[in-house]
A and B are shown apart, each in its own frame.
Chain A
């Protein structure tokens, strides 16, 4: 989007099928690294690939959040805000 390209433009520049690009964009499937880099380069950008340790400090908190239903997540937020108001 930032490069102002359509899926058809990207398909033409990278040689990847437009329907596959659409599935990547929709999050239905992930592109392999070489396809991702080809798309990024076709848009005039680059992704410097640098190895970095994964920050897993939030994982427990996020896993708990992921295990809740949306209704419980909103309730948790409201409880948090109510506690803030009281303190």
Chain B
């Protein structure tokens, strides 16, 4: 999952990333800071984090999209297929997080994820605020807790506009 990052050497262009993923019909859910920004937390991030479907055909399409983006791994290649992988692309940083903390991965997140129109014909599936809170809640570091407080407050403000209580 994306941490606060220094300003990268290439300008961050989320549209290029989503367009490449869509061009190759990659199935994924946007998570992390960029997803929270889409929901209105007004954070700053220079990266996109996604949770892709781990099915073999989708992994092939993802590899093609990464090649399209001139993606280079920025860390060691982990042996575990479910381990997160970070890439530098010509459009900025992209992290692949197969099993985000506190979740069961793509199939868990896509059930509630919503398609959001972010412009330039991009309508990625985005994890819900509740799922994003679940991820942050599973992380113990102070920065994640601070982000969680911000997200929870946003959820509370949104819910104060009306939610049923069921016993």
One digit per residue, 1 when the CB lies within 8 angstroms of any chain A CB and 0 when it does not, for chain B 4-24 equals 000100011010000000000
B164 at the interface (CB under 8 A from A): yes
A59 to B38, CA, bound (A): 17
Are B164 and A84 in contact, with the CB atoms below 8 A?
A: no
**Contact residue range for chain A?**
35 or more
Interface bin, chain B: 35 or more
Query: In the complex, are the beta carbons of B42 and A74 less than 8 A apart?
Result: no
A12 interface contact, C-beta 8 A: no
Q: Is the interface of A mostly helix, strand, loop or mixed?
A: helix
Q: Quick one: which of B148-167 are within 8 Å of A by CB?
A: 149-150, 153-154, 157-159, 163-167
Apart from A26-B112, A30-B163, A85-B11, list 13 A-B contacts with CB within 8 A.
A30-B159, A31-B165, A32-B165, A35-B167, A55-B153, A64-B42, A70-B39, A71-B117, A73-B38, A73-B39, A75-B119, A80-B44, A84-B44
- The answer on a CB contact under 8 Å between A29 and B163 is yes
Query: Which residues on the B side are within 8 Å of A71 (C-beta)?
Result: 117-119
Contact (Cβ within 8 A) A76 B42: yes
Tell which of A23, A77, A82 has the most Cβ of chain B within 10 Å.
A77
- Which of A24, A65, A80 is most buried by chain B, counting CB atoms within 10 A of its CB? A65
In this assembly, does A5 line the interface, its C-beta being within 8 Å of a C-beta of chain B? no
Q: How far is the CA of A67 from the CA of B104 in the complex (A)?
A: 31
* Contact of A27 (CB < 8 Å), options: B7, B128, B167: B128
Q: Is the interface of B mostly helix, strand, loop or mixed?
A: loop
Please report B residues at the A interface, Cβ cutoff 8 Å.
7, 11-12, 14, 37-42, 44-46, 102-104, 112, 116-119, 126, 128, 130, 134, 138, 149-150, 153-154, 157-159, 163-167
> Separation in Å of the B111 CB from the closest CB of chain A?
8
Whether A8 sits at the interface, judged by CB under 8 Å, is no
Closest CB in chain B relative to A56 CB, distance in Å: 8
A55 touches B149 (CB 8 A): yes
Q: Which residues from A are CB-within-8-Å of B134?
A: 1
- Give residues 19-66 of A contacting B (CB, 8 Å): 20, 23-24, 26-32, 35, 55, 58-59, 61-66
